[in-house]
């Protein structure tokens, strides 16, 4: 016997309809490529999204067509989030930090029909416009006057069928009804970083996206509400900005978009001027922010919490935010293949009476699975390890917003690598404690195997990052004639500091098993970062593949 409840599809457009109706006057603030601060509301955003949906139809965009963006975080990008997906097409957020060859490969693989771009990326678009196979229209996300004034004519001439965003919006009215369709219809497309081959597409559905937004907003997840002012530093071209543009509509929060100003000074100014209460980004971004506020003896007047994910957050950063600036860090973990949210490190009631040291130990973990994500750790034979085990193993996940197969079957079906029960192998090595808190000990490709025993590189990086003279640290495996592999620490020093190899290695004493201590330290000017701000250890391994460790 079935229940007797209404069957309304979970569609992304419903989030915008809700925001317009119940939070229409709530503000959306953007730092634009035009150089100014732009202010709008959910009501106006909904109006312009409907106009853009009509403009897309006029351009010949059909349901399931892919519409690409090369854009910063801003109100126009958010309008496209809803206009494209809401009309039944698929929003494809391209990463503008990729090499032009990769942009061409991904655009061709996705078969993008229209590509929208911020004027910042005009040189990139000019470099790829003559090489893509399917893009029919190129739309610069500004008005024609700003384009004419700020873009070199010879560069503009390289782009065929170039249109201006504001012209498209102005030409339409907002008499448009969002269509209704199956909630399993594809809504958006993101590509993996491609560190082990060509990037692979992850195709999200309306259902998966709305369910993910529900879970992300929960109190023990990102804890978002209508009283919040949220500034997503995480790019809208990176896994849908961790769902915050959808969560904003769902709860009616004020949204503050930083545009291209991701340096510490620019971010701090927006935090203060717009009363930001919550932000989100990767550790490398927060290093720049912390350096700015520390150098200028500043404090945060409204920001109370930040979500840090993308890579493991160093415990020293968690302490700095909490002890110096009163900002609570929510350590989170996920993947492009997971939409991306998997875990958030929110406290349980039992932690209220614990010491600050005990609470910091909890916060260093990636956290508990949000409802909708099931996870387990298995050993090398595929046997499940119990919660509370001190043994690390391969982390597997499953849930309604987790990848079943890659777009067009590229890379194969990931589920065939699991136990047949629908578990996705994350590629992370982890352990889960008795309270359900998961801790990543390494990526499977980054684990160091020394004399048959595993050494986790993340633990060694976190200790190095706690040293006051260290700005960034990466630990990789270096070949060793006796032990097969040993840890090599690659370090960027903070400006104006003195630090020797011996001083840093001595810093490890008493913090880990002695045999885990890195064999050597190499100081460099910079550690390569990927398009999403993560350290590229694959490039470091290539750079130091012939490095000879000290034999003494």
Catalytic residue among 324, 348, 449, 511: 449
**Known active-site residue 337:** yes
SS3 41: strand
Tokens standing for 14?
A: 């419903």
**Known active-site residue 192:** yes
Catalytic residue among 69, 132, 185, 192: 192
**Known active-site residue 454:** yes
Catalytic residue among 348, 454, 515, 542: 454
**Which long-range contacts does 294-297 make (Cβ < 8 Å, 24+ apart)?**
294/324
Question: DSSP letter at 529?
Answer: B
Tokens standing for 104?
A: 């061409």
**Which long-range contacts does 460-464 make (Cβ < 8 Å, 24+ apart)?**
460/487, 460/489, 460/508, 460/512, 460/516, 460/518, 461/312, 461/314, 462/312, 462/314, 462/315, 462/316, 462/364, 463/507, 463/508, 463/511, 463/512, 464/489, 464/491, 464/504, 464/507
> Among 267, 329, 264, 312, which Cα is nearest to 292's?
264
> Among 33, 412, 45, 83, which Cα is nearest to 255's?
45
Tokens standing for 18?
A: 């809700």
Contact 392, 431 (CB under 8 A): yes
Strand segments (E) across 234-327: 254-257, 278-281, 305-308
**Known active-site residue 391:** no
Q: Which residue has the tokens 């002695």?
A: 514
164 Cβ contact partners less than 8 Å away, ≥ 6 residues apart: 139, 140, 142, 143, 144, 147
Strands 305-308, 278-281: parallel, antiparallel or unpaired by DSSP? parallel
Q: What is the DSSP annotation of 65-108?
A: -EEEEE--SSHHHHHHHHHHHHTT-EEEE--TTS-HHHHHHHHH
Catalytic residue among 172, 183, 274, 337: 337
The catalytic site residues sit at: 192, 337, 449, 454
């Amino acid at each position: 016997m079935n229940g007797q409840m209404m069957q309304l599809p979970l569609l992304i457009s419903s989030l915008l309809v809700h925001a317009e109706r119940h939070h229409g006057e709530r503000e959306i603030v953007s730092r634009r490529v035009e150089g100014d601060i732009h202010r709008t509301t959910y009501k106006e955003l909904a109006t312009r999204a409907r106009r853009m949906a009509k403009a897309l139809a006029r351009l010949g965009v059909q349901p399931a067509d892919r519409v690409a963006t090369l854009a910063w975080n801003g109100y126009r990008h958010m309008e496209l989030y809803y206009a494209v997906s809401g009309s039944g097409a698929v929003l494809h957020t391209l990463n503008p930090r990729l090499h032009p060859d990769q942009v061409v490969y991904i655009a061709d693989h996705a078969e993008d029909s229209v590509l929208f771009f911020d004027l910042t990326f005009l040189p990139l678009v000019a470099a790829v416009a003559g090489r893509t196979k399917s893009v029919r229209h190129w739309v610069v996300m500004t008005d024609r006057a700003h384009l004419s004034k700020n873009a070199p004519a010879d560069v503009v001439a390289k782009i065929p069928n170039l249109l201006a965003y504001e012209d498209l919006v102005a030409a339409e009215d907002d008499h448009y009804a969002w269509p209704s369709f199956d909630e399993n219809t594809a809504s958006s497309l993101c590509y993996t970083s491609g560190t082990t081959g060509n990037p692979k597409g992850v195709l999200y559905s309306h259902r998966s996206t709305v369910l993910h937004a529900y879970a992300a907003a929960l109190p023990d997840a990102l804890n978002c509400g209508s009283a919040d002012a949220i500034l997503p530093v995480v790019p809208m071209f990176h896994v849908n900005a961790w769902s915050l543009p959808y969560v904003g509509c769902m709860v009616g929060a004020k949204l503050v978009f930083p545009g291209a100003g991701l340096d510490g000074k620019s971010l701090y100014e927006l935090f203060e001027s717009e009363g930001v209460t919550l932000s989100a980004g990767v550790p490398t971004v927060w290093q720049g922010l912390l350096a700015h506020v520390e150098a200028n003896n500043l404090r945060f007047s409204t920001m109370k919490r930040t979500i840090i994910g993308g890579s493991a957050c160093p415990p020293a950063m968690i302490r700095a935010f909490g002890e110096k600036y009163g900002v609570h860090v929510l350590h989170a973990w996920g993947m492009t293949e997971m939409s991306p949210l998997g875990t958030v490190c929110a406290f349980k009631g039992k932690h209220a009476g614990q010491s600050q040291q005990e609470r910091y130990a909890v916060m260093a973990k990636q956290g508990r699975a949000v409802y909708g994500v099931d996870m387990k750790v298995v050993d090398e034979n595929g046997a499940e390890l119990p919660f509370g085990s001190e043994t690390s193993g391969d982390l597997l996940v499953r849930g309604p917003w987790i990848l079943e197969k890659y777009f067009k079957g590229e890379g194969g079906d990931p589920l065939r690598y699991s136990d047949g029960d629908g578990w996705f192998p994350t590629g992370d090595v982890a352990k889960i404690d008795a309270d359900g808190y998961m801790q990543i000990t390494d990526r499977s490709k980054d684990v160091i195997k020394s004399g048959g025993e595993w050494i986790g590189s993340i633990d060694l990086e976190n200790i190095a990052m706690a040293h006051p003279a260290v700005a960034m640290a990466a630990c990789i495996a270096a070949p060793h004639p006796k032990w097969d592999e040993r840890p090599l620490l690659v370090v960027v020093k903070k400006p104006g500091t003195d630090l020797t190899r011996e001083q840093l290695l001595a810093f490890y004493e008493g913090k880990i098993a002695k045999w885990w201590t890195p064999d050597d330290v190499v100081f460099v000017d910079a550690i390569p970062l990927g398009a999403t701000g993560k350290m590229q250890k694959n490039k470091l391994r290539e750079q130091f593949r012939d490095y000879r460790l000290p034999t003494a």
